[in-house]
Amino acid sequence: MNEAESEISTPPDGFEPLIRKGAFSVHNGPFFFRPGDGEVVEQAFYALPRHANGLGLVHGGMLSAFMDGLLAAAVIRQARRPAVTIHLSVDYLHMARLGEWVMGEARLTRAGKDVAFAEGRAHVGGRDVVRASAIFKLMNRER
């Protein structure tokens, strides 16, 4: 754990570190999740300096990447297949700041043979900061 990560406050109740395999997610984390097998996937991150723009606000690119991963997790959990994003729509509603926990929740809204749809939101202290929806290409599992 580097010096900035040691500044992360205790995760919200019920959240655990999320182990990600991809270098992009590892670099941009750490991320946390609430275990469960229901329809709603919950993840979070603590806003560190590397997540912010020059104004001390969480960068829109960080929020977009967080929502992309969160929506994908909802699709993968419910469709039980790997998926890749083919469209992502993000609405920025409010600001998130350094030192805040950004909480996200997402769910699969529909899945067909080849594509799936998901929607979700990220919030800080009860106020929505982002709403997003996405379309995913469902992949076949590698053998």
3 state SS for the chain: CCCCHHHCCCCCCCCEEECCCCHHHHHHCCEEECCCCCCEEEEEEECCHHHECCCCEECHHHHHHHHHHHHHHHHHHHHCCCEEEEEEEEEECCCCECCCEEEEEEEEEEECCCEEEEEEEEEECCEEEEEEEEEEEECCCCC
Q: What is the pLDDT of residue 3?
A: 42
Amino acid at 140: N
What is the pTM for the complete model shown?
0.90
**CB atoms closer than 10 angstroms to residue 102:** 23
Q: What is the pLDDT of residue 117?
A: 98
Q: What is the pLDDT of residue 24?
A: 86
Q: What is the mean pLDDT of each run of 10 residues along the chain (143 residues)?
A: 60 89 85 90 95 95 97 94 96 96 97 96 96 96 55
CA–CA gap between residue 113 and residue 72 (Å, rounded):
16
State pLDDT tens for residues 29-49.
Answer: 899 999 988 899 999 999 999
Q: What is the pLDDT of residue 103?
A: 97
End-to-end CA distance of the chain: 35
Q: What is the pLDDT of residue 16?
A: 92
CA 36 to chain centre: 16
Looking at CATH, the fold of the domain delimited by 5-138 is given as Thiol Ester Dehydrase; Chain A (3.10.129)
Q: What is the pLDDT of residue 143?
A: 39
Return the CA Rg of the chain. Answer: 15
